Chain A
Amino acid sequence: MKNFKHFTKQDVLRWIMNNAIFVVLIALLMMIISVSPDFISIRNFRNILSQASTRVIMALGVGGIIVAKGTDLSLGRLVGLAAVVSASLLQSSEYAYKMYPNLPQLNIFIVILFVMIVTGFFGCINGFVVAKLKVDPFIATLGMMVIVYGVNSIYFDRPPYGAQPIGGLDKAFTNFAQGSFIVLGFKIPYLVIYAVIITIMIWVLWNKTKFGKNIFAIGGNIEAATVSGVDVVKYLLIVYTLGGMLYGLGGSLEAARIGSATNNTGNMYELDAISACIVGGLSFSGGIGTVGGIVIGVLIFQVIAYGLSFIGVNPYLQYIIKGLIIIIAVAIDSRKYIKKK
């Protein structure tokens, strides 16, 4: 406290600027709690964590791509494809309107793995178009977003039942995402466990492997990375493929969590995931970001969405608040970019 005098007015201002997003959040949280003190409950906490889980998995996928100075707009549609394909392969055998009436009960893990390979394949094409054909990531994945929606709609809308939402999912599959177990009297949703496992895996990948070092190098300065012998094409292919696979996992869990899937599932999720990454401190100009930041970014949006609904803020107003938070985050992001230069 002795040093307190040494803080000038400018230091304080700088601190507020650098942590503005957290200042806003804490203020919002205080606001929520003051309007409705019963917001602080284990149950709300659990709801927020389990709701954030699938989003964390998706955001980690696009996060790696953003670190490598890319972006991926096909996220939401790939989530939709994953949801529809996994739901169609995991309908309950008693359900009357099965997409494949004669399909036997399949193993959940095999189906999810299959879906991850399919979405990973689309991600790989994204990587190829960006790395090899040198198409701007925004454009490449914008195109892919539309293509995947088309592919998904063709798969989804066909005889005998046409464009019916795919419901009647296998109980084991819905329980895989909706279920929970009890530890020391606390109910822990399975989803949270999956998200934690994936987060740890991605953390190791980013921080302890050559792959991690190289995507940061590529994102930081692609020319320098090339000169120092990094196989840029290979690593971009991997990072986009990995992204695709994580959307596949997220999408399958999403189908199980919702209990049904349509070709519109996952629509616009890319915006949520990318905003969460940015708010979590990833720089859109590449090379900057942490796994922890992404998780925090996702949680921030989840707390806001949940909390504002909890205290009954007008839904239209929630859009405005969410948009403002994204703008603040990007304003900070551009400051970091200037600093880097």
Chain B
Amino acid sequence: MKKLLALLMVLLLTFSLVACGGGEQAPTESDPKEQATAENAEAIPQIGVTIYKFDDNFMSFVRRAIEKNADGKAELTLNDSQNDQAKQNEQVEMMLSKEVKSLAINLVDPQAAATIISKAKEEEVPVIFFNKEPSAEDMASYDKCWYVGTDSSESGVIQGKLIADSWKAHPEWDKNSDGKIQYVLLKGEPGHPDAEARTKYSIETIVSEGIEVEELELQTGMWDSVKGKELMDAWLAKHGDGIEFVIANNDAMALGAMNALKAEGYFEGDKFMPVVGVDAIPDALTQIEAGTLVGSVLNDAANQGKATVDLALNVAQGKELLDGTTWKLDDKKAVRVPYLPITLDNIQIAKDCYSE
């Protein structure tokens, strides 16, 4: 009997979860206001969105920007692809069967774009890829697909510039006074275009600013803050104060590295180690304000989300792609949202990005 009771409770819980979940995500079903007229329904097109991984820190901000910008203008079907391309393909099939008017796809694996494009092409549904860029070849294979993202190399260049400028302003950071930056680098997921470009261009830019560099360590932290901390723990044990700069491909890893540094007594008194990241996520901004993180590069989540919705909405309504927006297409059918360097001096720009 006890077991039966438990079972009934589980049942009840499940139903209530589904009931409230369904209601929350599909307001048109219950909201009489929106059921009003057929033309109203026409005016609010369905857009299918997939996010490669819902709990990815940066993508969660893009997702919120998408939701905010689509509010009242489109009915979104949001999908969490759980970092699994097979799952994402299935979600695309599901949304096409739902007859969405356009797709906004954040690929799990950029190489899989061809499969998604062939599915969408069959139904003539336009696709806006965002944040992970398909190859030029795939983009050229379908006239109704576009890309919203950034220019990967730009974030590296800006990070390199930020490092060079701060290094020149703080001669005391050259602990062994050899005029070279002894750096360690936390790389993102190998093969990810952003990881490759940021690694390459940040170092190239420092060198082009006339500063010599010496690489002590370079390892992949998979964009992950725990991995960033673990690697930094090991490197600190190995090199200690021989490290003069910590360069991270993203803020999550930079923050992980800072935790390792804090555990070793850095950032107290005058024990300091410069760290830079990319993304300017809110956590990183607090650290910049506290004077512990040197700087970051703003990957403009708000505007990437906005651009994605602007484009997806226009094509869903059969309008011109850039109708009523200020975005510009480059020769690769892409809208590039610019990166910005963020330090204590201009931190407000980044903060505004996250405020409502």
Contact = CB atoms under 8 A, between A and B. Distances in A.
B133 to A, nearest CB: 13
Nearest to B117: A259
A171 B337 CA distance: 34
Interface in A26-57: 27-28, 31, 35-36, 38, 41, 43-44, 47, 51, 54
Given A47-B93, A265-B85, A259 B14 contact: no
Interface string B54-98: 100000000000000000000001111011111001110110011
A313 B112 contact: no
A270 interface: no
Given A310-B94, A315-B80, A17 B25 contact: no
A5 B85 CA distance: 54
How many B residues are at the interface, by size bracket? 35 or more
Given A13-B4, A27-B15, 19 more contacts: A17-B3, A17-B4, A28-B14, A41-B97, A163-B191, A164-B111, A164-B191, A165-B109, A167-B112, A178-B118, A258-B115, A259-B111, A259-B114, A264-B83, A306-B90, A306-B94, A309-B91, A317-B17, A317-B18
B171 interface: no
A305 B86 CA distance: 13
Interface of A: 13, 17, 20, 23-24, 27-28, 31, 35-36, 38, 41, 43-44, 47, 51, 54, 157, 162-168, 174, 178, 254, 257-260, 262, 264-265, 267, 305-306, 308-317, 320-321, 324-325, 327-328, 331, 335
A320 B17 contact: yes
B10 A258 contact: no
Contacts of A47: 90, 93-94, 97
Given A47-B94, A267-B84, A312-B78, A321 B7 contact: no
Contacts of A324: 10, 13-14
Chain A interface main SS type: helix
A321 B10 contact: no
Contacts of B77: 309, 312
19 contacts: A24-B11, A28-B14, A31-B19, A31-B22, A35-B26, A43-B97, A44-B97, A47-B94, A51-B93, A54-B86, A157-B190, A163-B190, A165-B110, A165-B112, A259-B114, A260-B112, A316-B54, A321-B18, A328-B10
A297 to B, nearest CB: 17
B25 A314 contact: yes
A312 B109 contact: no
A19 to B, nearest CB: 11
B21 interface: yes
B38 interface: no
Interface string B203-240: 00000000000000000000000000000000000000
A168 B110 CA distance: 11
A317 B7 contact: no
B97 A260 contact: no
A20 B89 CA distance: 32
A145 to B, nearest CB: 17
Contacts of B114: 167, 259
A38 to B, nearest CB: 8
A332 to B, nearest CB: 9
Contact of B112 (A13, A258, A305, A309): A258
Contacts of A313: 18, 21-22, 25
- Please give me the 5 A-B residue pairs with the lowest Cβ-Cβ distance, nearest first: A167-B111, A259-B115, A315-B80, A312-B25, A163-B190
B24 interface: yes
Contacts of A315: 54, 78-80, 82
B29 interface: yes
B90 A35 contact: no
A267 B79 CA distance: 19
Contacts of A20: 7, 11
